[in-house]
Chains A and B, each alone.
Chain A
Amino acid sequence: MKALLKYREIWLLAAIAVLIGLISTRFPAFADPGNLRQVFNDTSILMILALGQMVVILTRSIDLSMASNLCFTGMVVAMLNAAHPAIPIPLLIVIALAVGLVLGAINGLLVWRLNIPSIVVTLGTLTIYRGATFVISGGAWVNADKMSPDFIGFQRAALLGIPVLSWIAMLVIALFFVLMTRTALGRSIYAIGVNPTASVYTGIDVGRTKFIVFCISGMIGGLAGYLWISRYVIASVEVANGYELNIIAACVIGGISIAGGIGSVGGAVLGALFLGIISNALPVINISPFWQMAISGSAIILAVVLNARGERQQGRIILRKVEAA
């Protein structure tokens, strides 16, 4: 029991249960399984994005360009769909993944080859990718009436009573779980975050691994681009503006240390769910949605205070950073 309490996922799960309990005292139908399934579906995109961000943060980097990537890729697939409705949806998803991968690889190459800090690189590409969305679209919107029924309907189709969007989220969660706990790449990602210098001596190519994590977050951004556009059925330059901070917030609440090396798939998923529940619950318990921003801000601060307590008993870092070239 004591060992179980050490896992922060348990605490997060408890916090979420308390949150749902509190909400259902004001609005009993909220805890209804059908409604919770709906909340999960609503939060799917944030969960996917948080997982993509997680692998980057674990390596002591950060990807601020994810929301812009989402916006750009979403516009690309929406315009493709508007121009050529015959392209099947699975192929469009592959295209979205590929476009996202390219954008992520650009970030990764700049970080890997030129050693520019990731926060600077992705701060730059954050504005570039969103600006590029304007250039390819000419500032025009792609509305629902220009999208094919398949484009909009694919993620809404029910499979065993659960929408495809939720299935995609579950598939991504499973893939990330395998990646982080069952593969050498997952171990190296953690190793780099805990101690980059030791990782080099262990034979891990730190630069290349960072490149790979940016490719992963890019692909996730691209996938989320299609999902976002087909869910909210509008593609514009303003899509997901500022959302990069929500993604990071989900990670922080999920216990992923911004200093790298600490965090889990479960944490990222629960962190996203926590934010998702709040944004879903505010309207039903008659709190103005304008409260949401301040509440999630307080949640982030609270989470990071709690995180810091958990991380404090770490040992001293003896080796200083060495040129990893």
Chain B
Amino acid sequence: MTDVPVPRHIPDRLDKPLSSAIFSWEALLVVVAIAIFAINSFASPYFLDPYSLSDLTFNFTEKGLIAFAMALLIISGEIDLSVAAIIALASTMMGMAVQAGAGTPVLVLIGIGVGLGCGAFNGLLVTRLGLPSIVVTIGTMSLFRGIAFIILGDQAYKGYPESFAFFGQGYVWWVVSFELVLFLIAAVVYWFVLHRTSFGRRVFAIGNNPIAAQFSGVRVGRTKFILFCLTGLMSGIASVLITSRLGSTRPSIAQGYELEVITMVVLGGVSILGGAGSIVGVVLAALIMGLVTFGLGLLNVPGIVMSIFIGLLLIIVIALPIVWRRLRGRRLA
């Protein structure tokens, strides 16, 4: 009967009942992915073949790599529209290096370095000058690709060394491509960083309330700067992969990728307003987008019509839980 304060147990993580796991965003995505997979296998006899499934992965690995970093960036409340332009600039720089006689290791370093530099430039403008990232990166999107156009005009760089082709065309084991392995490693690394480290917690904190995060001792500016650098870095890596896969560079390379990457991230359940999201969701969304485009491709559906499906998928998957919640709420009331 004494009023000894019982030390309250504060759990590291809130308990997740099974029902919330079943109705989670990721579960919805798994269902969608399985459905599309099943439809694909019925629709085309060529789908369920290890080699076609291996080709399928190329549809999402490059964009997916960027999507991981973009997910963190969007969770923190910022966005980067310049990722495709970074790919173009990094690829152009690699092309220039090839003309100067650079070997494969130098090319990879240049690609990744240019990506990192571009990301740091975005990050500096956003964090040092306090500018809105959506406008800054619309500007740098024109600037980076514009530089690629100035250098290349209507020309193309070719003649990449043979050993350079491994990154985009090589297989590690049987049908498992180097790109897929890289994608899976990146998925694990980003999952760990976002969901198991204090850095990840800070990213969520900033996205939910940057001012509160600041007062809690989170270096908001520095964290965001790191995220912009990461996004640039991943774009640089993607640039190496794409350039290696295509074997040539044009200034229009990877045009429109930024919107596909963002679609992937949003489809993966990352809130475009920041503060919520998971890497598992992004992986599933990447898989779904790969399945949709590849399946429709096997059915000879032109790419532009596929984009209708991607757009519809984006809106429907976002709208569905909202409509469902509203209908349920009405029944309760």
Contacts and interface: CB of A to CB of B under 8 A. Distances in A.
A299 B262 CA distance: 25
Interface in A268-323: 288, 290-301, 304-305, 308, 312
Given A115-B322, A125-B311, A134-B304, A297 B132 contact: no
A120 B318 contact: yes
Interface stretch (A16-24, A156-164, A244-252): A244-252
Nearest to A119: B272
A98 interface: no
A300 B310 CA distance: 30
Interface residues of B, number: 45
B272 to A, nearest CB: 5
Interface in B119-168: 125, 129-132, 134-136, 138-147, 149-150, 153
A139 interface: yes
Given A123-B314, A125-B311, A252-B135, A288 B150 contact: yes
A299 B136 CA distance: 11
Contact of B149 (A135, A242, A245, A294): A294
Contacts of B308: 127-128, 131-132, 135
A304 B150 contact: no
A241 to B, nearest CB: 8
A259 interface: yes
A1 interface: no
A234 interface: no
B272 A120 contact: yes
A249 B306 CA distance: 28
A300 B135 contact: yes
Contacts of A128: 307-308, 311-312, 315
Interface of B: 125, 129-132, 134-136, 138-147, 149-150, 153, 251, 255-256, 259, 262-263, 266, 272-273, 302, 304-308, 310-312, 314-315, 318-319, 322-323
Given A116-B315, A130-B304, A304-B135, 13 more contacts: A110-B319, A114-B323, A127-B307, A128-B307, A128-B311, A131-B311, A134-B302, A242-B255, A248-B138, A300-B135, A301-B140, A308-B129, A312-B130
Interface of A: 62, 110, 114-117, 119-121, 123-128, 130-132, 134-135, 139, 237, 242, 245, 248-249, 252, 258-259, 288, 290-301, 304-305, 308, 312
21 contacts: A116-B319, A117-B272, A120-B266, A120-B318, A123-B259, A124-B311, A125-B311, A130-B304, A132-B308, A139-B304, A245-B138, A245-B141, A245-B142, A291-B146, A293-B142, A293-B149, A294-B142, A297-B146, A298-B143, A304-B136, A312-B130
